[in-house]
Structure 1
Amino acid sequence: MLRFLTFLLIILIATSADAQQWYRGNLHTHSYWSDGDDFPEMIVDWYKTHDYDFIALSDHNVLAEGEFWKLLPDTEEAQQGFEAYHNKFGEDWVVYQTNSEDRTEVRLKTLKEYRPKFEKKGEFLIIQSEEITDGFDNKPIHMNATNVQELIEPQSGSSITEVMQNNINQVREQRKQTGQPMFPHINHPNFGWAITVDDMLPLTGERFFEVYNGHPLVNNYGDDERLGTEAIWDILISNYLAEDKPLIYGLAVDDAHNYHNYDGEHSNPGRGWVMVQANELTPEAIINAMEVGNFYSSTGVALKSITYDDQTLSVEVESENSINYQIQFWGTKQGAGREEMGTLLNEESGTKASYQLKDDDLYVRAKIVSNKLQQNPFQEGDTEVAWTQPVSN
């Protein structure tokens, strides 16, 4: 019944697309509040001026509240960044001092302070988030909480799965207690080769994970011995459907930390984002749309439309001149073994394509691959791609 209602909502939303808008956002970003290398106002300004509609600053185990003085790194880069910040926002806004060692300390602005500078109803939104940074057996286990209302401390556990489940439970409990929509998502499972697909299979209440993360150290593509994130995704979808769990959706995010040096060795903004089709630009509308799969993830390819009707997934690309597109449909057949989960069901060249699910198809998702090189990729030669969310019979 739950699966049927989910797909019914997808169909209803797709058929009422004229009443909705596409909103572009990044759900994973870091600032000086943790291990990013710039001020939150500079980061938010970057996203706002680069045609994003919403941004989530998700610093490690901290919310941007209370008094916090940042001792700037003793580098020319940090000093230049401070001067840019001071010049942009002015003496009346920037609060700083020089310590006994002639080092600059800056009082970081809280979300409550800087939010009014940027937010405008229907035009730009900041969603409070946290990267719950935990671990087990020296392996990094990170999960974002989107639209979190109160800080969630890392919950720990006796296994990788238990650590994730304990943190998922805390997000869900806070959602229940506050009545505010929020969701957890699993970050970069291959970072440090920490989280395997088998660690994720037993989870309950997990609906999202990062199929693409723009950090150069997260191993999106796997290696000769370990699965890439797309292969992980297909195994998760297949097994979740077999167990009558809700579908798990794939996010593309920046995981931006570095805002001064732009190259493949740094984790820069602008590499991955989600495009959400919602009826308004609010946390509630964005989260509600995402939870029924009404979004796609991208590293550059824009989609004009996605519909799922009469067991047919249809995709149309917002094409660019002289750019070629391959529209791939990936899925799993009923009864498939793990090695056969996530196979290419069909592929077409062009800007429009459809796939009608067969009786033995568990699900289908679309991947759109262009021949346009991605701007500032973390891996040289990467082209722009988009991923739709899976749909099922």
Structure 2
Amino acid sequence: MKIRQIIGLFLFLSILSCKQKETNWLKGNLHTHTYWSDGDGFPEMVLDWYKSNDYQFIALSEHNIIARTEKWKKLPKSMIYQQAFEDYLKKYGEDWVEYKEDSTGISVKLKTETEYKPLFEEADKFAIITAQEITDGYGGKPLHMNATNVQELIQPRHGNSVAETMQNNIDAVLEQRKATGEPIMPHINHPNFGWAVTVDDMKSLRGERFFEVFNGHPQVHNYGDSTRMGMEEMWDQINIAYLNRNQPMMYGIATDDSHNYHLFGGQYSNSGRGWVMVNSKSLDAKTIIETMEAGNFYASTGVTLASLEQEENDIELEVKAEAGVNYTIEFIGVRKGSDKSEVFETVNGTEASFELTKEMLFVRARVRSSKIKENPFQEGDYEMAWTQPISN
């Protein structure tokens, strides 16, 4: 009897250990810029900020370039950036920093990913995913798309309309994915930036599974305006169209799109405004992307979930509550045959669950906090989180 009890206990602990491994929530930002394109920070300093602020993975997504070539950056003469260089030099030393100074100022040779990755990556602690922001346009409209875990630089393919340009670039990502056998994830960036992408453009896409429901850049119009829809309404409209033609649903991510690392406030694109929490078994890019493609993640601007279960027709979640903060959990979705989303149920508290009925097309959860977001996208923003939609 004792032997059976010991064996039973061993099996129980083994199962518990596996379960704990499967619920490993990893925090990451998938849209980040440095001096390699239009950001204003050295990649090492940017990576150090994210690692020091408890992120587990980061994608440096520069405009139409991967940090694999030789690139020199002429520093602005402003005292802010001169001081930032002094801080960089002090932190990493003369042996690491290669620079030259002449009558025109200081130029610094930027470190490549093969140089900076070993400095920061740690097994099971921190990973850097190679990425690119495919930067294209049509008719003066900026059309940007990230390729996460890109293997080789993708040149913008252009097109004869907004939708065609976007589709051509999605196809380029998916073609590289097929050719290399590596999971490469395209995601549409900030549709309302420059009011470039309409909901009809988004509805027309094939092969796209992700877009930014929240982006921290001050010029992206996350909430729309009096005549143009915000990202949440667009998200639901996209999924009505996708599900009605039996296309996999669009998932929503939150990103910083950080550019500015020395000046802070609503007019700057700063770090720490939006991220994803991915329930991944490991930190390798393949597993993270496959987990996200399965919808096993949520987007956040500050709210953390203690647990999230999305199985078949049920969503069950619990907020990791902060003292003195109140939470409202809303289950938002669309009924079959309807062309508008609605709030199916509202729960004031930290725990809630919802069952999708046969009359419903899909449902997702949104958590609103009473805590004001520090250095927000827009003044007065509260910390929030969004789960991914589920459907019958």
Q: TM-score, normalised by structure 2?
A: 0.94
Is residue 21–residue 281 contact of structure 2 (8 Å, CA) maintained in 1?
no
Paired residue for 2:75?
72
Measure how far apart 1:74 and its partner are: 1.7
* d(CA) in 2 for partners of 1:19, 1:213: 28
Letter in 2 for 1:29: T
Q: 5+ residue gaps in structure 1?
A: 1-14
1:348 aligns with 2:351: no
CA RMSD of aligned residues (A): 1.1
The 1-side partners of 2:80 and 2:259 are apart by: 14
2-structure distance, mates of 1:18, 1:95: 42
CA contact (8 A) 2:312 2:390 kept: no
Tell me how far 1:177 sits from its aligned partner: 0.9
Query: Is this contact kept in 2: 1:254–1:268, CA < 8 A?
Result: yes
One-letter amino acid of the structure 2 residue matched with residue 334 of structure 1: K
Q: Give the share of equivalent positions with the same residue, in percent.
A: 55
SS of the residue aligned with 1:56? strand
Matched residues in 2 for 1:310 and 1:64: separation?
41
Matches of 2:171 and 2:141, distance apart in 1: 20
Aligned to 1:307: 309
Matched with 2:335 is 333
1:61 aligns with 2:64: yes
Match of 1:44 among 47, 52, 63: 47
Q: How many Å apart are 1:343 and its aligned residue?
A: 1.0
Alpha-carbon distance, 1:19 to partner? 2.6
**2:3 is matched with which residue?**
none
Distance 1:307 1:274 in 2: 16
Q: Deviations over 1:307-360 (max 9, x none)?
A: 1236221111011111100000000011113xx2x2111101000011111221
Q: Equivalents in 1 of 2:205, 2:91: separation in Å?
A: 45
Post-superposition CA distance 1:276-332 (Å, at most 9, x none): 001111101100100000000000000011112362211110111111000000000
CA distance in 1, matches of 2:194, 2:81: 28
SS in 2 for 1:246: coil
Residue identity in the other structure for 1:328: E
Spell out the pairing of 1:17-28 with structure 2 (5 A cutoff): 19-28=22-31
Separation in 2, partners of 1:48, 1:262: 19
Taking the aligned partners of 2:310 and 2:122, their CA distance within structure 1 comes to 33
Cα deviation for residue 200 of structure 1 reads 1.1
> Counterparts in 2 of 1:159-178, with a 5 A limit?
159-178=161-180
Higher relative contact order (CA 8 A, sep 6+): 1
Partner of 2:211: 209
Please give the alpha-carbon distance, in whole angstroms, between the structure 2 residues aligned to 1:379 and 1:106: 34
Which is worse superposed, 354-363 or 225-234? 354-363
SS in 1 for 2:61: coil
Q: Corresponding residue for 1:145?
A: 147
Task: State the match for 1:128 in structure 2.
Answer: 130
Structure 1 residues 380 and 158 mapped into 2: Cα distance closer, same or farther (>3 Å)? same
1:210-251 per-position Cα deviation (integer Å, ceiling 9, x unaligned): 000000110000000000000000001111011100011000
Partners of 2:312 and 2:391 in 1: CA distance? 11
Aligned to 1:96: 99
Task: Measure, in 2, the Cα distance between the counterparts of 1:285 and 1:212.
Answer: 23
Preserved CA contact (<8 Å) 1:214 1:253 = yes
Match of 2:5 in 1: none
Residue 162 (structure 1) shift: 0.5
Partner secondary structure for residue 188 of structure 1: coil
2-side partners of 1:349 and 1:36: how far apart? 40
Within-5 A mapping of 1:1-393 = 19-99=22-102, 101-309=103-311, 311-337=313-339, 340=340, 342-393=341-392
Letter in 1 for 2:213: V
Q: Summarize deviations over 1:3-26 as a string: whole Å, max 9, x none.
A: xxxxxxxxxxxx956533000000
Moved over 6 A (4+): none
Equivalents in 2 of 1:151, 1:17: separation in Å? 37
Contact in 2 for aligned 1:20/1:280 (Cα 8 Å): no
**Which residue identity lines up with residue 129 of structure 1 in the other structure?**
A
Aligned length, in residue pairs: 375
Contact 2:22–2:279 (Cα < 8 Å) also in 1: no
CA distance in 2, matches of 1:69, 1:356: 55
The TM-score with structure 1 as length reference comes to: 0.94
CA contact (8 A) 2:149 2:285 kept: yes
Choose 1 or 2 for highest CA Rg: 2
